[in-house]
Amino acid sequence: MEENPIMANDDIELIEDDSSLVESDGEVMDENPRVAKADAEVQKLISQKRIKDSDDRKVSSEIFDKATLQVLYKLANQGHLDVLNGAISTGKEANVLKGIKDDGSIVAVKIYRIATSDFKKMQYYIAGDPRFNVRSSNKRQLINNWVNKEYRNLTRLKDAGVYVPEAITSMSNVLIIEFIGDVDGNPAPTVKNLPPQDPEDFYEKLVNQMYRFINKANLIHGDLSTYNILNYNEEPVIIDVSQSVVRDHIIANELLERDIKNISFEFSKMGVDTSIEDLTERLIK
């Protein structure tokens, strides 16, 4: 697995070492065909007719600001993606897009929006994590650390055998991860949007993943629900782990209790014989 090249320096430093991408005034050039193609696809995304109202246009401009475009150019030049092709999901703080590589394979490109991210929430989850020493109030540096946190959490979970998307690389406010979906580019739906055909069997698989998450990776998800569990061919895939904290974090127990309550409640509604007490006993060792 490639090492995480995330950077916490000023925006221009993301590409200053690549003369093929930047002129002396910092303007992005399109000499590289792959970069030019990525740029054209980004512009296509921005100008698509489906972006009709002012709110949609505002979201688009927040995603593809100049600094983010520079990061995408750099990642394209490194071969991590060739073009951007459609949205997988849209959240309050980040959008996930499909990235197509030049060999036709698909990756998921998660872009955090600098302008609308909840920085107080980010500081709340990062503060007290021994892996990070975040003292800066600079918003961009905080998001850099937030993306780095998600990258490291995914790597740690994958090593523990938890079924999560593989972290591929990250830079600034952009994280590239494994695409979970079919060969035609259709992303796996969330459990919220596609409940499992056999909820009892799916629940047992999920409990096994949660056990590994907590006791092997020594992490607490912190926001686990059917909104961030994918139903991939009747297998649970846990996503959105940026807020996940280590088990000895000061808020870990509070978050764990919330996760257990959410999963117990949501699968009880599907007819699974479970309870908060039963799930807690199965997970806490």
193-246 pLDDT tens trace = 999 999 999 999 999 999 999 999 999 999 999 999 999 999 999 999 999 999
DSSP state of 198: S
Nearest in space to 219 (alpha carbons), one of 124, 263, 154, 145: 154
Tens of pLDDT along 64-74? 788 888 899 99
pLDDT at residue number 118: 64
- The pLDDT confidence band at residue 190, using thresholds 50, 70 and 90, is very high
The pLDDT score that the predictor gives to residue 1 is 38
Active site residues: 223, 240
How far, in whole angstroms, is CA 229 from its chain's centroid?
13
Q: φ and ψ at 247, to 5 degrees?
A: -65, -25
Distance, in Å, from the CA atom of 142 to the CA atom of 148, rounded to the nearest integer, reads 10
Give the pLDDT of residue 60: 54
The pLDDT score that the predictor gives to residue 7 is 27
Angle subtended at Cα 237 by Cα 173 and Cα 223, rounded to the nearest 5 degrees: 60
Predicted local confidence at residue 127, as pLDDT: 72
Q: Residue 49: pLDDT above 80?
A: no
Residues 6 or more apart whose CB falls under 8 angstroms from that of 204 comprise none
pTM: 0.78
The contacts of residue 78 (CB under 8 Å, 6+ apart) are 169
- In single-letter form, the type of residue at position 35 comes to V
Question: Model confidence at 29, in pLDDT bands (50, 70, 90)?
Answer: very low
Tokens representing 5 are 């090249």
Distances (CA, A) of 232 to 95, 175, 211: 20, 21, 19
Write down the pLDDT at residue 247: 94
Q: Phi/psi at 238 (nearest 5 deg)? A: -85, 130
Top-confidence residue, 63 or 14: 63
Closest CA to 82 of 46, 48, 31, 40: 40
Q: What pLDDT score does 9 carry?
A: 28
pLDDT in tens, 259-279: 999 999 999 999 999 999 999
Query: Mean pLDDT in the chain?
Result: 80
**Amino acid identity at 270:** M
Closest CA to 215 of 160, 169, 150: 160
pLDDT at 87 over 70: yes
